[in-house]
Structure 1
Amino acid sequence: MHSASAQEPSAAKPDGGWQALADILKKLEPSVDTSLPETPVQASIRINQLIASGKFQQALNEIEKKQPTVSYMEQPGTDVQLRFLRARALTGLGRTAEAIDVYQDMTSKYPELAEPWNNMATLQLKDGLLDLANESLRMAISINPQYGIAHRNLGLVQLIMANHSFDQAVLNGVTGAATQAAATKRIINGN
């Protein structure tokens, strides 16, 4: 009889003891999140996709969550990428002055990079700040003389400046200036 009563509890569990094993395994499960954290590269790709799809505010919110945890001295690659993404998101939101400030800050923290100077120049150009754009592009080229995009942008800024000068010459009655003004406008417009 003793053996019959020992089998009664297992008879009460039709699963043959699997539930007990499941309960033990449940107790052994980690109580913390064991998923792998997002790498800086994965975060940059994800935020870049937000910007590319026009979700500028969402991207900016994500950047602002990550930036305080990233030191530009300890993680310069991640920091610089977040700063570039921040400036792009601000530009997308029409907050050009703030984006220029981000690029300006980058030029002092990362003086070896030509890209912040070039990107800042494009925003300065959009704001009609031709002299500043010209100076910024010259800085980009002095840092990286092989930076083709900066050379092209400098050429465009100089064409726009030349066009303004030709327009002033036209207003002052200089013969032939109208032809030169028209020629520079065609080049600027890609015609």
Structure 2
Amino acid sequence: MLLSVLPTRCSSLVRLPAALLLAALCATGALAQGTDYDDVSRMTRAGQFDQALARADKYLAGNPRDPQMRFLKGVIQQQRGQTDEALATFTQLTQDYPELPEPYNNLAVIHASQNQFDKARIALEMAVRTHPNYATAHENLGDVYARLAAQSYGKAVQLDAANASAPVKLKAVNALLTPPPKAKKTSR
């Protein structure tokens, strides 16, 4: 399960705590004004994507290089299903601020959701290279490696039906990729 950074959990990626994202983006010296950032973040969490995007665009009109607000704009685009726009936003952030791991992570989330696991792997390796202690990126990279392994084992099974070990490995990897069942609630 790959995790996205902010503000909500993507279907297949891990979420980075907001405090870590803020710390990383503050380090660039370009933190958005608290009220603008807070408002956009709050609207995004509430699913008010049109309003959040309008507020982000308004802020970015006067502060076009602000990495935090640009990142939030990418997250909003991602949540709105504007995949191409989100890819462009996160890609540009990685070019302008290659030291920030979060845009690489969110690029990987998008690539993984499109079954482009090689692209996701490359993005996550960059995230880990820029921030070796970024646990979310490490977890996501493990998930991507598992997906790539499943693809390879599946291909091996297709090509050689007599191969006894590939099906066993494929089953083991698929077990890793299957989310655990939700616990049943018991009444007292």
Q: Sort the TM-score into its range (normalised by shorter chain).
A: 0.7 to 0.9
User: Post-superposition shift, 1:176?
Assistant: 2.4
Counterpart of 2:41 in structure 1 is: 48
Whole-angstrom CA distance in 1 between matches of 2:35 and 2:175: 43
Aligned AA for 1:48? S
Q: Distance in 2 between matches of 1:168 and 1:126?
A: 20
Choose which of 87, 96, 121 in structure 2 pairs with 1:109: 96
Moved over 3 A (4+): none
CA distance in 2, matches of 1:127, 1:40: 34
Match of 2:84 in 1: 97
Separation of aligned partners in 2, 1:89 and 1:71? 16
* Distance (Å, rounded) in 2 between the aligned partners of 1:87 and 1:121: 13
State how far apart, in whole Å, the 2-side matches of 1:92 and 1:141 are: 24
Distance in 1 (alpha carbons) for counterparts of 2:68 and 2:59: 11
What is the distance in 2 between the residues matched to 1:70 and 1:98? 19
* Aligned amino acid, residue 189 of structure 1: T
| Equivalences, count | 147
For structure 1, which segment, 170-179 or 148-157, has the greater mean C-alpha deviation from structure 2 after superposition?
170-179
Paired amino acid for 2:46? S
Instruction: Specify the alignment match of 1:175 in structure 2.
Output: 164
Question: 2:166 and 2:96 mapped to 1: Cα distance?
Answer: 44
Alignment partner of 1:68 is 2:61: yes
Displacement, 1:166? 0.8
Q: In angstroms, what is the RMSD of aligned CA positions?
A: 1.3
TM-score (norm 1): 0.74
Aligned equivalent of 2:128? 141
In the superposition, the TM-score normalised over structure 2's length comes to 0.75
CA distance in 2, matches of 1:142, 1:170: 34
Q: What residue identity is the alignment partner of 1:62?
A: R
Alignment check: 8 A CA contact 2:125 2:141 kept:
yes
Structure 2 counterpart of 1:161: 148
SS across alignment from 2:58? helix
Matched, 1:87 2:74: yes
Asked if the contact 2:36/2:59 (under 8 Å) is kept, the reply is no
Segments of 5+ residues of structure 1 without an aligned counterpart are 1-38, 73-78
1:71 Cα offset (Å):
4.2
CA distances 1:148-189 after superposition (whole Å, capped 9, x unpaired): 111110000000000011111111212221221111111012
Which residue identity is paired with 1:159? A
Report the alpha carbon displacement of residue 141 of structure 1 after superposing the two structures with TM: 0.8
Q: Relative to total residues, which structure has the larger helix share, 1 or 2?
A: 1
Residue 56 of structure 1, CA deviation: 1.0
Larger RCO of the pair (alpha carbons < 8 Å, separation 6+)? 2
Corresponding residue for residue 184 of structure 1: 173
Name the CA distance, whole Å, in 1 between partners of 2:80 and 2:118.
Answer: 25
